[in-house]
Structure 1
């Protein structure tokens, strides 16, 4: 049955490999079950309910991605968009969280319509192929930087922005030791190397007291407090006359814009790392991939959480050999199982998962060899994409710089053609976005 569903043999993988990959992906992104309630809690949403909604949205999203699109890409409520939901939409603009959830639902529905109409697929096809490689590597730097920061190896500095962290701290020492052990296992081609590293580090973290387990009360009533509380009518600006209409149009635009390009960047990076793109550099079954994340966002809004996106941590499962949707299905089932024991995720210390992110980031540098670094018209946009993703903490910003630079150089060199119309439209949209951010 699994062979028929996922084509394991055709993808050169096995059930054991896919299960290990799914577990690895889950462990590297399980932090969202704790972090998302903490952020949305500042918007007034009850923590236990958000934790349950997070698990449900992630579980459904992963299952959709695995069964519908057959890709090893995991989904969950996105970091960044949850902060925008809380600190800009609810706290700064004064929009009730129920109305904000309505905006999330509408953005998911609009995404689904754009997918059915083929607009999102056209946007992906308009991105120059060299930028796909730069996005993949830039995302690798991004997650490696997150891993280094989570491990305490890199720290913030008022003088130099970043600096070397306190390597004498228990967390940094554990992360460094795990990094060495996992790297050695990878070099020896040991199956499940990243998962072994995470489990060993988790056990060591408990022994030395790095893991702190203080679960909150978690009743059925508490778990469902945000379910079906979204206010779509308020989000549409009809009834109530609260003057939110213009502001909510802006909110919808941001949800749509950031979700679109973060998803595109992640999907490109993960599928390229897994060798799942076709000979023309296109992602097969892209409409199914985009449909899965659109529906997952709508489910998340109904359950009570912010926008669901594709997670770059999926690359950790790909690094373990995950090549089919079975990886995503395993991750999804683990999230659904976590629905009832969400507080136990605290058992995995950050120092245990950080080395996995660092090593996965290192392995994502390979696509850079596909960029023609001798051609400035290609090299400069690729470099801007590569460097701005980690330094601005945004895949969308990296794509914005890369696409805009690529279009500008193509125009200035007199090599623009009719086939580049959508590329220039995207560049113009990005320029308008930067202008808006400058005056907002």
Structure 2
């Protein structure tokens, strides 16, 4: 372990790393319940998605620890799973098997870009303020879905949305969950979200909102999504559907890229692992582990795998090496044995988790320079367009295009910004095409 992880050089030991790994796992284990709840609405078998979530997280964390030697944990990403279900499968009518094929292709593209070193060029072209706005916009997207699933907000013909009937059992249960999880988080309880979900689920079972019938533990049920991805379908590049699939792959790829950059900067800074010049050592190894985990996740049957900001909790507990990530991965693999139980979790129990995870993602807005209109306007458009159109791609389009336009009219355009304007032009063509459709 000393040769593999360099524990002494980082001022840590086995006990500290084990504690850090367990801490990180507790703070993000809710994904084993929440991810199947979201992807299940796309028609995917819930128990199989839970198993795929455990497998992809386990593989991703172990790869991150062994290849990159960082205390960063990975799992299917919040936001991208909602995009997968509500925008791609339900909104665009793409079969979930084809959507998994798009996730696979985005992972392969990410791996190629990483190996070729092209990702530095892409990251450099995207305005940094939009990273924060995209993260917050996805947070609003997730929270909106949680409020809708709980029945707290409902559709209304006159006002588009309105307050739901809060006297109905699902809404009461969800509001109770908000209070319980919020209180646990305020008290700094480790695993607050997971504990809150389980408490609310137990209340839901008592109220008869869900039956404790988790299903079998057969290999057939747990592997129902494994290797079901439709890569030929995802490669269908002719006509309107072809453009739509290309856009899906683009969103999976770029949001994953943004998510990783933001998480890596935050976690490595907290752990003191950033070089004096601001660079992150072994960055290509980190991104390689992430892209391979996404490919493995698509094969197992889940949406894009990303780095988790909850890794900061393990760093706070003393984690400094990849051993922390390996332990998180092993804990996820151990959780695989409980995968069928997630079918018994009522939607009203997972909705509060979506709302509060979305709330926590809003913190990134503090990094936006709101007194600069050239930054504030694109950031605001990105922030509101994502949840109001149920599309991360639309938020990217409005944000990047408006940023490029404002920079141009202010006379701040530079030859080095050529890729930014290429992306903006492509987004304009996309919006015109969508208008024509």
TM range (shorter): 0.7 to 0.9
Corresponding residue to 1:347 among 337, 344, 348: 344
Which residue of structure 1 aligns with residue 355 of structure 2? 358
Structure 2 alignment gaps of length 5 or more:
none
| 2:371 corresponds to | 374
Question: Measured at CA, do residues 100 and 330 of structure 1 come closer, stay the same or move farther in structure 2, by a change above 3 Å?
Answer: same
Q: Does 1:172 align with 2:168?
A: no
CA contact (8 A) 1:262 1:396 kept: no
SS in structure 2 at match of 1:156? strand
Normalised TM-score (structure 1): 0.77
CA distance in 2, matches of 1:383, 1:236: 32
Question: Conserved in 1, the CA contact under 8 Å of 2:36 and 2:46?
Answer: no
Distance change in 2, residues 1:67/1:352 (3 Å): farther
Q: Deviations over 1:265-318 (max 9, x none)?
A: 433554566574969887765533432343234334444x3653438xx45675
Is 1:435 the equivalent of 2:435? no
Is 1:310 the counterpart of 2:306 in the alignment? yes
* Distance change (3 Å), C-alpha of 1:121 and 1:326: farther
> Which residue of 2 is the match for residue 267 of structure 1?
260
8 Å contact 1:34–1:343 — kept in the other structure?
A: no
Q: In the superposition, relative to structure 1, how do residues 429 and 205 fare at CA in structure 2: closer, same or farther (>3 Å)?
A: same
For residues 20 and 329 of structure 1, the distance between their equivalents in structure 2, rounded to whole angstroms, comes to 13
Matches within 5 A, 1:404-419: 404-419=401-416
Distance 2:292 2:260 in 1: 16
List aligned pairs for 1:8-407, cutoff 5 A.
15-16=18-19, 18-33=21-36, 35-36=38-39, 39-40=42-43, 52-53=51-52, 55-65=54-64, 67-69=66-68, 70=70, 71-75=72-76, 78-81=81-84, 105-217=104-216, 219-221=218-220, 223-224=222-223, 227=226, 234=232, 246=238, 250=243, 253-268=246-261, 270-271=263-264, 276=269, 286-303=283-300, 305=301, 307-310=303-306, 314-315=308-309, 332-333=329-330, 335-407=332-404
Aligned residues of 1:137 and 1:365 also touching (Cα < 8 A) = yes
Q: Secondary structure at the match of 1:74?
A: strand
Q: CA deviation at 1:359?
A: 3.0
Residues in 1 aligned to 2:119 and 2:135: alpha-carbon distance in whole angstroms: 19
In structure 2, C-alpha distance between the alignment counterparts of 1:365 and 1:128, rounded to whole Å: 18
Unaligned runs of 5+ in 1: 238-243
State how many pairs are aligned: 420
Structure 1 contact 136–364 (Cα < 8 Å) conserved? yes
CA distance in 2, matches of 1:222, 1:193: 30
